[in-house]
Structure 1
Amino acid sequence: MFVLDRHGRPLDPCHPARARRLLSAGRAVVHRHTPFVIRLKDRDAATSAIEGVQVGIDPGSKHTGLAVFTDHGGNRSGRYTIRLDHRGAAIRDRLSARAALRRARRSRNLRHRAPRFLNRTRPQGWLAPSLRHRVDTTVSWVARLTRWAPMRAVYVERVAFDTHALSAGKPLQGVEYQQGTLAGYEAREYLLTKWGRACAYCGASGVPLNLDHLHPRSRGGSDRIGNLTLACIRCNQAKNATPVEMFLKGRPALLAKILKQAQAPLRDAAAVNAIRWALWRALEATGLSVHTASGGRTKWNRSRTGAAKSHTLDALHVGHLENVTTWPSTVLVVKATGRGTYARTRTDRYGFPRLRFPRTKQVKGFATGDLVRATVPTGQKAGVHLGRVAVRSTGSFNIATRHGTVQGIGHRHIHLLQRADGYGYTTHPETRHRTTFPPQPEGEGLHTGGIR
């Protein structure tokens, strides 16, 4: 749990059991409900010994993992993990719908202004709104964690793949090819993303996958990324040292697809890398000590600690480390929901207003999205209901709880816990161990370095 002193300055986080004892003894009060933050009444940061914490960030397209941890000589201990769910896809769809609506209105025989989008220039470092949202949201949560915990450093993945290790690294062969080095993990992670973590020949997923050369090395093939693909153990053994053209001679459509995909670069990698670089620059501007690493090193760290694949555990393994001793059993899932819209109307299919909304968003002191607790003494809805409220001008509100929506709760029975901040909060258990595959017959796939 996050802890503040009596002046609101951050102290070292504490165990939930200790936070409960402090609250029951009257030494602390609840400062924030989610994430849970307490404020001590009798402590001052100026006279307290503060060790400090660090935060790891694993940026992603749909989800970003954040992990707050302490570090003692390279041994990390996870204290708090957050999975941030972005709404970049919703932003992209809204912008596309708006552009289509405006385009349609300009094409009709109506009185309208001339288009102004042709004379606009984009500043240096411009990102599309859906991408900028991911950067701004992540930086915003780092700033929040800085207010709740004594932040010492930030570890962030600046690139998904180390392209230098892919192009200039030495060939994957011998012991390094079987067991994997850091450069090998860069290549493996790149290929897993490029080929969708499935066998290129039969499409099997959820099984051990091996690196396979489209043109075998015994016939002059190279170790370049464009000559590598993924194959399950059965397809890898069936192909053996056969060129891909001969192996797929009876399946010309699949052959053409594999050859085209092998030569095409990973387009998503460029977009994700652009987000990571923009995030790194934004974090540098905060004045925190920022350390960077690649996604390949993160996976290499996870392989040594035996951790499962998740955004939060990836965040805990970013950068240089010796070991990860513990990590939290519960993850706080923070979903970006937005703060509503400024528009006070809804439009029909022609773009003209058809519905009007009130000018104010608050009703009886509550706004849609507020976290509330309703205590209903009698009636069919009697009980305690905790969740997000949807306000109505009549004063009878709906509350979305984890068990469903309870409708028609009077505002007099509702108590405010936390104002809406544009996010929805849930929790789920963290995967504690690496996902395992069924055992394979002895000797299968050893010469090609099986990967997952």
Structure 2
Amino acid sequence: MSKIFVIDSEKRPLNPIHPAQARQLLTSKKAAIYRKFPFTLILAESLPEVPVSPLRLKVDPGAKVTGIALVSDSTGEVVFASELNHRGFAIRDALTSRRQLRRGRRARKTRYRKPRFLNRTRPEGWLAPSLQSRVDNIKTLVEKLRRFAPITAISQELVRFDMQLMRNPDIEGKEYQQGTLAGYETREYLLEKWGRQCAYCGVKDAPLQIEHIHPRAKGGSNSITNLALSCEKCNTKKGTKDIKDFLKLDPSKLTKILAQAKKTLADAAAVNTTRFALLNVLKSTGLPVETGSGGLTKFNRSQQMLGKTHWLDAACVGKSTPVLIIKGIEPLLIQAFGHGSRQSCRTDKFGFPNRHVPREKIHFGFQTGDIVKAVVTTGKKIGTYVGKVAIRSSGSFNISTKNGLIQGISHKFCKRIHAKDGYSYAT
């Protein structure tokens, strides 16, 4: 099982402990719960200087999900693991919607107003908000873990996808194209793009081959948009047939594959753009930062015959990777939600105002986004519910649990177990 973080009475991080030992400390009242997520104890009394074993924080950044692991270099034990889901694409969509609403409003209200799209300057190192949020999410989690664990070093996967080479394999520079990096990038990208399964029959956990959607024999290219993954049986069966002939009896699958093939390289572009900004953030901690390639991460994972998950990829980042002990580890799943919106008037789908947003954010000591535990003892909804709360001034709250939305829970039954911080947590 994942170990429990412990800090002393002066809030200095100590060695993480086994959950059974944590229960003993809580039962004997020698410690109290300091944080629910990640679960952390604080000792009631100060102790003499205790030797602390250093830990290495490993980060595998991704466009949608970032894997994070805490590993002991000396023993190889994975102490903590988490997978952080970003909200970059949600931010992009929200900014697009806001821009459209503003543009429509300005066209209606100030038709002859001078355009204002060239009078802004961006500072050096500026990132789009959807990309900056990814870096900030990782920075927040790293700072939080440093407060609870004795971290002395950091490892980051510094992968670079060659976008031009992936789109056009015939680009100049033959000696570079034939290197292992180009092949690795293409294969890894295709595995992610097609969900590590055959595009035609959907089989998983089988040897997969790179297949040309539009056959080379009929003029198809090696562009990444013309490549798919196929099992040997489907690849042989398709041969040099055009995909429209091969799937003429299954038009829904044909439409799905053609749409997936045209999918943009947005994820790879996001990783490319943010990799050095994240590296600078990690270096600003003052800790030594080790970088490793994506190929090395895959090599380490393959050598130890580990599964393909974000947190296991993180644990395998860098040359410093020892023989890992991962027994019983359950990653903490973190979802970034942000801190809400400052929009004071909601609009309908046409951009016209239709409802007002109250300014008060706190009611009965709770605010939307708090994680609460509600023990309902009366009424039709008797039971215990844990999840994020959405407050109302009436005192009737909604709680989003892992089993669904529970509506109409009185604030009298609620107890806050984790203050709103812009994230939700699950195991």
TM-score (norm. length: structure 1): 0.76
**2-side partners of 1:227 and 1:371: how far apart?**
46
Aligned to 1:157: 157
> Does structure 2 conserve the Cα–Cα contact (< 8 Å) formed by 1:212 and 1:236?
yes
**The 10-residue stretch of structure 1 (297-306 or 269-278) with the greater mean CA deviation from structure 2:** 269-278
Counterpart Cα distance in 2 of 1:239 and 1:396: 59
- Note the C-alpha offset of 1:314: 0.5
1:71 matched to 2:73? The reply is yes
1:58-115 superposed Cα distances (whole Å, 9 cap, x missing partner) = 111111111111111xx52111111111111111111111111122233336467533
2:30 paired residue number: 27
- 1:423 positional shift: 0.8
Q: Could you say what the CA RMSD is over the residues aligned between the two structures, in angstroms?
A: 3.7
CA–CA distance in 1 between the matches of 2:367 and 2:264?
Answer: 47
User: SS at the partner of 2:140?
Assistant: helix
Distance 1:226 1:389 in 2: 43
Q: How does 1:222-233 map to 2 (within 5 A)?
A: 232-233=231-232
Deviations 1:232-266 (A, max 9, x none): 324666799xxxxxx45897999xxx9xx99x996
Aligned AA for 2:49?
T
Find the partner of 1:47 among 42, 46, 49: 49
- Deviation of the 1:382 alpha carbon: 3.1
Query: Per-residue deviation at 1:120?
Result: 1.2
How big is the shift at 1:4? 0.4
Deviations 1:377-406 (A, max 9, x none): 333333433222221111222223333333
Change (3 A) 1:113 1:40: farther
Kindly tell me: are residues 187 and 381 of structure 1, through their superposed partners in 2, closer, same or farther at Cα, counting changes over 3 Å?
closer
C-alpha displacement of 1:183 = 8.5
Cα displacement string for residues 389-445 of structure 1 (whole angstroms, at most 9, x for unaligned residues): 221111222223333333333323322222111111111xxxxxxxxxxxxxxxxxx
Amino acid at match of 2:37: T
| Cα distance in 1, alignment partners of residues 243 and 111 from structure 2 | 61
Q: Tell me which amino acid in the other structure corresponds to 2:59.
A: I
Q: Is it true that 1:345 corresponds to 2:348 in the alignment?
A: no
Aligned equivalent of 1:175: none
SS state at 1:154 partner: strand
Scaled by the length of structure 2, the TM-score of the pair is: 0.80
For residue 282 of structure 2, what is the aligned residue in structure 1? 283
Residues 98 and 144 from structure 1, CA distance in 2 versus in 1: closer, same or farther, beyond 3 angstroms? Answer: same
Within the alignment, does 1:60 sit opposite 2:59 as a pair? no
Aligned positions of 1:3-152 closer than 5 A: 3-44=6-47, 47-72=49-74, 76-108=76-108, 110=110, 113-152=113-152
Task: Tell me if the contact between 1:370 and 1:418 (Cα under 8 Å) persists in the aligned partners.
Answer: yes
Distance 1:306 1:288 in 2: 30
Q: Which protein shows a greater Rg? A: 1
The one-letter code matched in structure 1 to 2:33 is V
CA 1:302/1:182 → structure 2, altered by over 3 Å: closer, same or farther? farther
Is 2:417 the partner of 1:417? yes
Residue pair 2:63, 2:267 contacting (<8 A) in 1 also? no
**Residue 34 of structure 1 contacts residue 425 of structure 1 at CA under 8 Å; is this kept in 2?**
yes
Name the CA distance, whole Å, in 1 between partners of 2:226 and 2:368.
54
Partner residue of 2:380? 380
Relative to structure 1, the CA distance from residue 402 to residue 326 in structure 2 (aligned partners, 3 Å threshold; closer, same or farther) is closer
Q: Structure 1 pair 53/269, CA: closer, same or farther in 2 (3 Å)?
A: same
SS of the equivalent of 2:335 reads strand
- Counterpart of 2:41, as a letter, is I
Taking the aligned partners of 1:122 and 1:156, their CA distance within structure 2 comes to 27
How far apart are 1:125 and its partner, in Å?
Answer: 2.1
Q: Is the 2:346–2:354 contact (alpha carbons within 8 Å) kept by the matching residues of 1?
A: yes
Provide closer, same or farther for how the CA distance between residues 203 and 99 of structure 1 changes in structure 2, counting only shifts above 3 A: farther
Q: Partners of 1:162 and 1:29 in 2: how far apart?
A: 50
How many angstroms does 1:283 deviate by?
A: 1.1
**C-alpha displacement of 1:35:** 1.5
Contact 1:64 1:84 in 2 (8 A): yes
Mark the CA change 1:91 to 1:18 in structure 2 (over 3 Å): closer, same or farther.
same
Identity %: 46
The CA deviation at 1:204 is 5.8
2:376 matches 1:367: no
Q: SS state of the match for residue 51, structure 1? A: coil
Indicate how the Cα distance of structure 1 residues 85 and 170 shifts in structure 2: closer, same or farther if over 3 A, else same: closer
Tell me the CA shift for residue 17 of structure 1. 1.0
Gaps of at least 5 residues in structure 2 are 248-256
Contact 1:161 1:294 in 2 (8 A): no
Question: Shift of the alpha carbon at 1:298?
Answer: 0.8
Deviation at 1:271, TM superposition (A): 3.2
**1:187-266 equivalences in 2 (<5 Å):** 188-190=187-189, 192-193=191-192, 197=196, 206=204, 207-210=206-209, 232-234=231-233, 247-248=240-241
- Partners in 1 of 2:115 and 2:377 — Cα distance? 59
Counterpart residue number, 2:252: none
**Displacement, 1:15?**
1.0
Once the two structures are overlaid, the 10-residue window that deviates more, 320-329 or 16-25, is 320-329
The one-letter amino acid of 2:425's match is Y
Structure 1 gaps of 5+ residues are 173-180, 217-222, 241-246, 428-452
Rounded Cα–Cα distance in structure 2 between residues aligned with 1:135 and 1:250: 40
User: Is 2:238–2:246's contact at 8 Å kept on the other side of the alignment?
Assistant: no
User: How much does 1:325 deviate?
Assistant: 2.4
Matching residue's letter, 1:3: V
